[in-house]
A and B are shown apart, each in its own frame.
Chain A
Amino acid sequence: IHHIVQNGGLYKKPFNEAFEETPMLVAVLTYVGYGVLTLFGYLRDFLRQWKIEKCQNATEREEQKDFVPLYQDFENFYNRNLYMRIRDSWNRPICSVPGAKVDVVERVSHDYNWTFTYTGRVIKDVINMGSYNYLGFAQNSGACQEAAAEVLSQYGAGVCSTRQEMGNLDKHEELEKLVARFLGVESAMTYGMGFATNSMNIPALVGKGCLILSDELNHASLVLGARLSGATIRIFKHNNMQSLEKLLKDAIVHGQPRTRRPWKKILILVEGIYSMEGSIVRLPEVIALKKKYKSYLYLDEAHSIGALGPSGRGVVEYFGLNPEDVDVMMGTFTKSFGAAGGYIGGKKELIDYLRTHSHSAVYATSLSPPVVQQIITSMKCLMGEDGSTLGKVCVQQLAENTRYFRRRLKEMGFIIYGNEDSPVVPLMLYMPAKIGAFGREMLKRNVGVVVVGFPATPIIESRARFCLSAAHTKEILDTALKEISEVGDLLQLKYSRHRLVPLLDRPFDETTYEETED
């Protein structure tokens, strides 16, 4: 059953999002597993403290033992007793370009993952289901690579200065005009690092006396930027518009906590695609709420730019909305463009203000010239300006791959979270031993996956996250699906009982989306 949400005509096509509930038996067994591991963790900590066993993790020195303990909280306990046992599924070194297939360096551990040694062998042509290579631009041959090599021979690799001093190249100006044209906004500015774009620019936009309303599952960069700014932060439930409207109403009615003065600014922080859930933000409703309550919207399109929309222009185009409605459009070049860095787009006054007041512009080195050329070439290819239809083909291939992969996984009986159209596919694993087992069994069958556990997800909801790419052909996907099905049967992962939880939507009693008369 697909739950189609039509909120007073705001959505032009069905919004299919589903999060199946955890089966009760699976939840109980997961807690049993964590209980056993916790008991053994206490036993090992006891042995380490009484020097019966050699302590190989970081501890305080003898002189510091009387001070405040550094490693006693739950995260450190989890790290040395649970994470260490399955650590070989993460930080795997790769030695080729991360395209549809990648070469992984083999390593082995003789002391249960405390140290690793390289065997010297390289596992070739592992199917890559973990790289954020949505449009397939991570290549070491082709038009992008040739253009980047030419710019490298002309400009060199280093910029050696910040944007405000001597690091403003003509390539940067060209890139910013191109990004502004691509997004449909007045002006844009680019930065060297995607994480730094969020964490260094939110403090420049809001300060004390402002209110930030941020989604429950926002990325660490948005959380860090919000905390650094000094504004008051309130959290609304993930993608829940009733919760957001209630917070907005309370903020406008009651004002600041003690003085009851009105807030200087209210900023709503959302992301285009949430990478751990695979869900897409309900942008039409957020924009309607923003207009009604006169607040500002900051949209982080790190995963959705290039991946959604009929011509790859992101979540704004996917819903058919006007880019001028979003006040600050932020995104990164790491995921779909095969480069590095981030951008912010918006009105000209906003970007001119950020050019002088952003911390990243004053202190951080600007983008490196070959990387800038890679972004320019890939963006022109995506817009179709280099004369070929490669961009359009890539976007359509990605959409087709997404639909096919999700449909096949659902038919097999796995629990998959998220929206039908998002290229990020989380597959639920739940039990801690299955996290390590899934990663290892898939690598044995030549498929590389990313598995995620605590603290990136809630403790019982651990998952394997697949990132689809336009570079994956149907044969590669079929091979990967066959292996996933085999491992799913081996590890008993097909939990789905095909009972969808209805989306908690009551469109006609609590929310009101009238247009304001201005």
Chain B
Amino acid sequence: MDFKRVKDYFYWLYFQYLLITCSYVLEPWERSMFDTILVTVLAMVLYTAYVFIPIHVRLAFEFFSQMFEGQPESTI
């Protein structure tokens, strides 16, 4: 019983995605083309985030901590 409700909810979410991006009115081949392009772009965004965000966060953290800790070190 619970599975059916969860499945219905996910189907409703998919229906909202179809309505908002107007895939509801596109023909099936147009829909698959749009889905492919969207998934490709999202995958590239996620991969870039996975590769670059930890490095950038670490560098930013080092930069700011150097700014705060560098001052007392130089006077001593």
Residues of A bordering B, CB below 8 Å: 29, 32-34, 36-37, 40, 43, 82, 85-86, 112, 431-434, 436-437, 490-492
Residues of B bordering A, CB below 8 Å: 12, 15-16, 18-27, 30, 34
In the bound complex, CA of A435 to CA of B27 (Å): 17
Instruction: Please tell me if the beta carbons of B12 and A432 are within 8 angstroms of each other in the complex.
Output: no
Instruction: Please tell me if the beta carbons of A36 and B19 are within 8 angstroms of each other in the complex.
Output: no
Min C-beta distance of A381 to chain B, whole Å: 45
Residues of chain A within 8 A of B20, CB atoms compared: 29, 32-33, 431, 433
Interface of A: prevailing SS: helix
Instruction: Please tell me if the beta carbons of B16 and A433 are within 8 angstroms of each other in the complex.
Output: no
Nearest-neighbor residue (CB-CB) of A112 within chain B? B27
**Nearest 7 A/B pairs, CB to CB:** A433-B24, A33-B22, A85-B25, A433-B22, A433-B19, A36-B22, A37-B22
In the bound complex, CA of A439 to CA of B33 (Å): 26
Residues of chain B within 8 A of A437, CB atoms compared: 19, 24
In the bound complex, CA of A32 to CA of B34 (Å): 13
Tell me the number of A-to-B contacts counted with CB atoms below 8 Å: 44
Min C-beta distance of A84 to chain B, whole Å: 10
Instruction: Please tell me if the beta carbons of B15 and A490 are within 8 angstroms of each other in the complex.
Output: yes
Instruction: Please tell me if the beta carbons of B15 and A433 are within 8 angstroms of each other in the complex.
Output: no
A–B pairs, 24, beta carbons within 8 Å: A32-B20, A32-B21, A33-B20, A33-B22, A34-B22, A36-B21, A36-B23, A37-B22, A40-B26, A40-B34, A43-B30, A85-B25, A85-B26, A112-B27, A432-B22, A432-B25, A433-B18, A433-B19, A433-B22, A433-B23, A433-B25, A434-B19, A437-B19, A490-B12
Residues of chain A within 8 A of B16, CB atoms compared: 492
In the bound complex, CA of A130 to CA of B21 (Å): 28
Which one, A34, A40, A491, contacts B19 given CB within 8 A? A491
Min C-beta distance of A223 to chain B, whole Å: 30
Which one, B12, B15, B27, B34, contacts A36 given CB within 8 A? B34
Residues of chain A within 8 A of B25, CB atoms compared: 37, 82, 85-86, 432-433, 436
Min C-beta distance of A80 to chain B, whole Å: 13
In the bound complex, CA of A85 to CA of B28 (Å): 12
Residues of chain A within 8 A of B26, CB atoms compared: 40, 85
In the bound complex, CA of A34 to CA of B21 (Å): 9
Instruction: Please tell me if the beta carbons of B27 and A33 are within 8 angstroms of each other in the complex.
Output: no
Min C-beta distance of A107 to chain B, whole Å: 18
Residues of chain A within 8 A of B21, CB atoms compared: 32-33, 36
Contacts A33-B21, A490-B15 aside, 9 further interface pairs with beta carbons under 8 A come to A29-B20, A40-B26, A85-B25, A431-B20, A431-B22, A433-B22, A434-B19, A436-B25, A492-B16
Min C-beta distance of A487 to chain B, whole Å: 12
In the bound complex, CA of A492 to CA of B21 (Å): 14
In the bound complex, CA of A36 to CA of B27 (Å): 13
In the bound complex, CA of A434 to CA of B16 (Å): 10
Nearest-neighbor residue (CB-CB) of A29 within chain B? B20
Residues of chain A within 8 A of B23, CB atoms compared: 36, 433
Nearest-neighbor residue (CB-CB) of B31 within chain A? A40
Given the contacts A85-B25, A112-B27, A431 and B19 also touching, CB distance less than 8 Å: yes
In the bound complex, CA of A437 to CA of B25 (Å): 9
Min C-beta distance of B23 to chain A, whole Å: 8
Residues of chain A within 8 A of B22, CB atoms compared: 33-34, 36-37, 431-433
Residues of chain B within 8 A of A112, CB atoms compared: 27
In the bound complex, CA of A321 to CA of B26 (Å): 53
Min C-beta distance of A259 to chain B, whole Å: 53
Residues of chain B within 8 A of A33, CB atoms compared: 20-22
Nearest-neighbor residue (CB-CB) of A30 within chain B? B20
In the bound complex, CA of A431 to CA of B23 (Å): 12
In the bound complex, CA of A82 to CA of B26 (Å): 10
Min C-beta distance of A44 to chain B, whole Å: 8
Q: Which of A37, A43, A86 has the most CB of B within 10 A?
A: A37
In the bound complex, CA of A32 to CA of B15 (Å): 16
Nearest-neighbor residue (CB-CB) of B20 within chain A? A29
Nearest-neighbor residue (CB-CB) of A39 within chain B? B34
In the bound complex, CA of A433 to CA of B26 (Å): 9
In the bound complex, CA of A490 to CA of B15 (Å): 9
Min C-beta distance of A438 to chain B, whole Å: 10
